[in-house]
């Protein structure tokens, strides 16, 4: 059993630990507040960063995304052939001027660009391209290297 003095010592130790933890957390809050203020000072005055040419910027982001994904998994290259034309048509057709206009343009884009019969045709064309422009038919082991190499050619 504890004596009252031992119990009081343990409570004091616990209080000291809690005070140190509180002080450390207060310091962390202060540092995070400073970081937040620094980040907020770097934000554009209008609240939204502007890009000189948004369509080119989006295409660059998309190309970089595809490049990273293909390097992670070469099979994404095949998927990229289907996605890239859809992405381009999406950026051309969809507007973000207002939320209702956005919804309307997304629906219109989906109706025009995503019907299954058209997607099937695009997939068949994609498979024809891969079978005639890569080594998949003659040396399938080289397809991962072909995917990375052809991605670079396809982007040019």
Cα-based distances in Å from 80 to 62, 70, 73, 106, 135? 10, 9, 12, 21, 18
| Residue 42: predicted pLDDT | 80
126 CB-near residues (< 8 Å, 6+ apart): 78, 81, 82
38 shares a domain with 84:
no
Q: Closest Cα to residue 80, out of 65, 61, 93, 60?
A: 65
Which residue segment(s) compose the domain that 46 sits in?
1-50
86 shares a domain with 9:
no
23 shares a domain with 62:
no
| Residue 148: predicted pLDDT | 74
Quote the number of domains for the chain: 2
83 class by beta-carbon count within 10 Å (0-12 exposed, 13-18 middle, 19+ buried): middle
User: What is the pLDDT averaged over residues 5-19?
Assistant: 93
Q: Identify the residue with better confidence: 67 or 55.
A: 67
Contact predicate 91/55, CB 8 Å: yes
Of 9-23, 33-47, 83-97, 109-123, the range with the highest mean pLDDT is: 9-23
In this prediction the pTM is: 0.55
User: What is the pLDDT averaged over residues 106-129?
Assistant: 90
90 shares a domain with 77:
yes
Please, which pLDDT band fits residue 31 given cuts at 50, 70 and 90? Answer: very high
Q: What is the pLDDT of residues 126-147, one digit of tens each?
A: 888 888 877 777 888 887 877 7
135 shares a domain with 85:
yes
Please, which pLDDT band fits residue 51 given cuts at 50, 70 and 90? Answer: low
68 shares a domain with 44:
no
62 shares a domain with 31:
no
User: What is the pLDDT averaged over residues 20-39?
Assistant: 94
Contact predicate 144/74, CB 8 Å: yes
Report d(CA 97, CA 76) in Å as an integer: 32
82 shares a domain with 40:
no
């Amino acid at each position: 059993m504890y004596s009252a003095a031992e119990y009081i010592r343990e409570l004091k130790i616990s209080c000291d630990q809690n005070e140190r933890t509180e002080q450390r957390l207060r310091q962390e809050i202060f540092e995070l507040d400073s970081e937040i203020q620094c980040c907020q000072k770097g934000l554009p005055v209008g609240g939204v960063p502007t890009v000189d040419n948004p369509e080119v910027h989006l295409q660059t982001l998309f190309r970089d995304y595809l490049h990273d994904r293909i390097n992670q998994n070469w099979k994404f290259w095949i998927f990229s052939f289907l996605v890239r034309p859809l992405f381009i048509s999406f950026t051309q057709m969809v507007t973000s001027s207002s939320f209702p206009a956005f919804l309307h343009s997304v629906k219109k884009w989906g109706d025009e660009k995503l019907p299954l019969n058209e997607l099937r045709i695009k997939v068949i064309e994609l498979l024809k391209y891969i079978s005639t422009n890569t080594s998949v038919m003659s040396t399938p082991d080289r397809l991962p290297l072909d995917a990375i190499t052809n991605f670079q050619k396809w982007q040019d």
